[in-house]
Structure formats: structure tokens, C-alpha cells
């Protein structure tokens, strides 16, 4: 029996989460889902974007599923708070094309690994005394760099991939990204069979468009990883298909890359696939690889058939229709 903390959140979060839960419940595994709150609606009810109970529950669970939240200007981001509390330092974002999906590149299959706990998202920001200047700290520690880069090389080994690309801006951010690049080359020495390269982040934004098929695993700091992974999602069919996993030494937190999508919230037309794929990544984390693969194959088959599609995929179907199509495919596997 797996105890899973479930945070639907705001906007389309709860509806895509419902789809992921229904998919997981159709598998031959026992789950105990603990529904917890976070986000804007939670703030309106409780005066906090993330109650202590939610964090406690996540810490007591085998893994956590997170839908999406609407960010409030003056409140701390609950997802960043949760990632930090759980010390899930690696944000793993698969970039994969699916047959049947109209996208810029039909044959991509690579990963972006984003450092999740520091960088420009350290949330150390302040105004000068006259409030005319705002300063944000960009924290890059040797310890965290080592953890994320080591994680990446281990993933490459486990998944029998070939190459790691380190992305930074060490020509300008000489100290912070200097550390990141230095640690990358230091760790790479222990993996002589893995190919390595490094690019400046601006060039990388270009190469993701010009030669995305040359990448295997990309490792980078927090903000760069956030931006590049949305760009990369755009290469393979958009945010509705982009899952992610936040993984640490102890905990795992799985969520789609997208946000609460206020423009389509409440219409039941959101694409649930990113959330269901994230649940699949959770199964990998729980070492339920057989079932994780089944979910991926069911999604591949559903998309390939092109019978059911939400509006972002060019169709007119509802969230629930796509969920049911995936569950039906699962039954046949
Ligand atoms: P967004 O990801 O919510 O939406 C961007 C665009 O993609 C919109 O046009 C939306 O309709 C579309 N989209 C996203 N997910 C989709 C899905 N599953 N199916 C179909 N279309 C989908 O990003 P946006 O609009 O910049 O942010 C909206 C809110 O979400 C903000 O409050 C933002 O701060 C928050 N946000 C939360 C995240 C999280 O919960 N981890 C991540 C990113 C943004
Ligand atoms: Mg983002």
C-alpha cells in the first residue's frame, strides 16, 4: 500500500489530478491517497498558501502528486516551499515527442535536469533603503551543484544514455556559474564513458531550436532550467504533454510543468496527459517500473490513434474523455 499525498491546487490543477488518480486507481496497485491543500484557493480559506499539514503529510507519504497552483504576488510560492521542505533538489523534465502529435520535432527524447533548491529562486530578495533598487541573490553552492550534477550522471548511467550537456553563463556569472561548471567537469571525470559538453544558456536557447536531437541529458541551474524546459516543451507539443519529477534522496514530488491555466480553467478541457505522465514518473520513483511503462505505452497508443484530443491537441474533447481513453488503453495492455 502506497501512501500518496495529493495536492490538486487551483485552476485546472484539481481536474487534471482527478484524471491522474483515476488512471492510477485502474492499475493493480494499492494506493492510499491523502488529499491536501495548497495554493490560492487554500489561501482564501486558510490565510496560508501552504498549510503545515500539507508539508507534514508529504513527509509521511511515499510520494506526493501536485497539480498546479495560481501564484499570489505577495505570498510565498507553495510549490517552491514544498520542494525546499522536501529537499527534492533535482527537477527532472522529460522532453519526448509522441506519434500523432503535431509538433515541431517528431523524434525528440531527452531530459532536462534543473537544480531545484537555490540559484535565482533562493527567494533572497530585498529593496534598497530608498526602494529604488531591488536585489535578488543568486546562490550557487558547491554542495548543491555536486548533488544535481551527480544525480544527472547517475540517471545517464541507469537509463543507458550517452551524453550530458551542462548549461550555464559562466562568462558573465563568473563566480556562481563558475562553480557550477567547475563541479560539472570534476564529476565528469568519474564517468569517462559518458560524453560531455557545456554551453552558455543563450546559445543553448538557440541550439534547442537548431539541433535538439543532439541532446540526451541537460543539467542546469534553477532559473535557466525553468525557462529552457518550457521552451523544450514547446518543441514537442506544448505544456499539456510535459511532466516533471522533483526528486531528492528521501522524497519525490511529481507535477506537470504547466500552471493553473486560468484561461481555460473551469471548462473541463485541460489536457490531463502531463499530469498522468507525472504520475507515471512517480511510479518509476516507487520502483513500480512495469506499471510506469504501462502508463507511458497507454498514453502513446491513445495519442497515436488521434481519436480523442483536447483543444490544445487540436480536438474538441473534454479532459475526462482523454482520461477514459488512456484507462481503456491500459485495460488492453
Ligand atoms: P500556464 O502553464 O498555466 O498556462 C500557459 C498556457 O498553456 C495557457 O495558454 C494554458 O491554457 C496552456 N496550458 C497549460 N496547461 C495546459 C493543459 N494541461 N492543457 C491545455 N492547455 C494548457 O502558465 P501561466 O498562464 O503563465 O500561469 C498561470 C498561473 O499558474 C500563474 O498564477 C502562474 O504563476 C502559475 N504557475 C504555476 C505553476 C505550478 O503550479 N507549478 C507553474 C507555472 C505557472
Ligand atoms: Mg515554469
Q: How far apart are CA 41 and CA 315, in angstroms?
A: 30
Spatial distance between the Cα atoms of 164 and 153, rounded to a whole number of angstroms: 7
pLDDT over threshold 90, residue 21: yes
Answer whether 242's CB lies under 8 Å from 255's CB: no
Distance from residue 151's CA to the centre of ligand 1 (Å): 28
Q: For atom 34 of ligand 1, which residue has the closest CA?
A: 71
Q: Is 95 exposed, middle or buried (0-12, 13-18, 19+ CB in 10 A)?
A: buried
Q: How far is CA 74 from the centre of its chain?
A: 24
The answer to whether residue 113 scores a pLDDT higher than 90 is yes
Judged against a pLDDT cut of 90, whether residue 76 lies above it is answered with no
What is the distance in A from the centroid of ligand 2 to the CA of 28? 33
Does the structure show a pLDDT above 90 at 112?
yes
- pLDDT score at 299: 97
Residue 332 in this model has a pLDDT that exceeds 90: no
Average pLDDT, the chain: 96
Q: What are phi and psi of 215, to 5 degrees?
A: -100, 150
Q: Which ligand is nearest to the CA of 310?
A: 1
Q: What is the mean pLDDT of residues 1-6?
A: 97
- pLDDT for 196 equals 98
pLDDT reported for residue 71? 93
Among 116-125, 275-284, 309-318, name the one with the lowest average pLDDT.
116-125
pLDDT at 206 over 90: yes
Query: 186: which DSSP letter?
Result: H
Confidence of residue 296 (pLDDT cuts 50, 70, 90): very high
Domain residue extents for the chain: 1-88+243-333, 109-234
Residue 284 has pLDDT above 90, yes or no: yes
Model confidence at 256, in pLDDT bands (50, 70, 90)?
A: very high
CA distance 53 to 122: 23
Q: What is the DSSP letter of 139?
A: B
In this prediction, residue 98 carries a pLDDT of: 94
255 touches 6 (CB < 8 A): no
pLDDT given at position 123: 86
> Looking at residue 267, what is its pLDDT?
96
Q: What is 61-111 written as a DSSP string?
A: SSEEEEEE-PPPTTS--HHHHHHHHTT--EEEEEEE--TT---S-TT-EEE
Average pLDDT over residues 301-323: 95
* Interval 154-182: pLDDT, tens: 999 999 999 999 999 999 999 999 999 99
At the second CATH level, the architecture of 1-88+243-333 is 3-Layer(aba) Sandwich (3.40)
pTM of the model: 0.92
- As its CATH architecture, domain 109-234 has 3-Layer(aba) Sandwich (3.40)
Residue 329 C-alpha to ligand 2 middle, in angstroms? 30
How far, in Å, is the centroid of ligand 1 from the Cα of 205? 21
Q: Which residues line ligand 1 (CB under 6 A)?
A: 12, 16, 68-71, 79, 239-240, 255, 258-264, 270-271, 274, 312
pLDDT score recorded for residue 20 = 98
Q: Is the pLDDT of residue 238 over 90?
A: no
Do the domains 1-88+243-333 and 109-234 sit in the same CATH topology, yes or no?
A: yes
Amino acid at each position: 500500500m502506497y501512501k500518496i499525498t495529493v495536492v490538486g491546487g487551483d485552476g485546472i490543477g484539481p481536474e487534471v489530478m482527478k484524471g491522474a488518480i483515476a488512471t492510477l486507481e485502474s492499475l493493480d496497485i494499492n494506493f492510499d491517497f491523502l488529499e491536501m491543500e495548497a495554493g490560492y484557493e487554500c489561501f482564501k480559506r486558510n490565510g496560508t498558501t501552504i498549510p503545515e499539514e500539507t508539508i507534514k503529510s508529504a513527509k509521511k507519504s511515499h510520494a506526493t502528486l501536485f497539480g498546479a497552483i495560481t501564484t499570489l504576488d505577495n505570498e510565498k510560492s507553495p510549490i517552491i516551499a514544498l520542494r525546499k521542505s522536501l529537499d527534492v533538489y533535482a527537477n527532472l523534465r522529460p522532453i519526448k515527442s509522441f506519434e500523432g502529435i503535431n509538433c515541431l520535432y517528431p523524434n525528440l527524447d531527452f531530459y532536462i535536469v534543473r537544480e531545484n533548491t537555490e540559484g535565482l529562486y533562493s527567494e533572497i530578495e530585498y529593496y534598497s533603503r530608498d526602494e529604488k533598487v531591488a536585489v535578488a541573490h543568486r546562490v550557487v553552492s558547491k554542495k548543491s551543484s555536486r548533488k544535481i550534477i551527480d544525480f544527472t550522471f547517475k540517471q545517464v548511467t541507469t537509463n543507458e544514455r550517452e551524453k550530458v550537456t551542462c548549461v550555464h553563463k559562466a562568462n558573465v556569472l563568473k563566480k556562481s556559474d563558475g562553480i557550477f561548471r567547475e563541479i560539472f567537469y570534476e564529476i565528469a571525470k568519474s564517468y569517462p564513458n559518458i560524453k560531455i559538453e557545456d554551453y552558455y544558456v543563450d546559445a543553448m536557447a538557440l541550439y534547442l531550436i537548431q539541433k535538439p536531437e543532439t541532446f540526451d541529458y541537460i543539467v542546469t541551474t534553477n532559473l535557466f532550467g525553468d525557462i529552457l524546459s518550457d521552451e523544450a516543451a514547446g518543441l514537442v507539443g506544448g505544456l499539456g504533454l510535459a511532466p516533471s519529477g522533483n526528486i531528492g534522496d528521501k522524497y519525490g514530488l511529481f507535477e506537470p510543468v504547466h500552471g493553473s491555466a486560468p484561461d481555460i480553467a473551469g471548462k473541463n478541457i485541460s489536457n490531463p496527459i502531463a499530469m498522468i505522465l507525472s504520475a507515471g514518473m512517480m511510479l518509476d520513483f516507487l520502483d513500480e517500473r512495469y506499471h510506469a511503462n504501462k502508463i507511458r505505452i497507454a498514453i502513446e497508443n491513445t495519442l497515436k490513434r488521434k481519436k480523442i484530443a483536447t483543444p490544445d491537441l487540436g480536438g474538441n474533447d473534454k479532459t475526462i474523455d482523454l482520461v477514459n481513453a488512456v484507462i481503456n488503453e491500459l485495460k488492453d495492455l
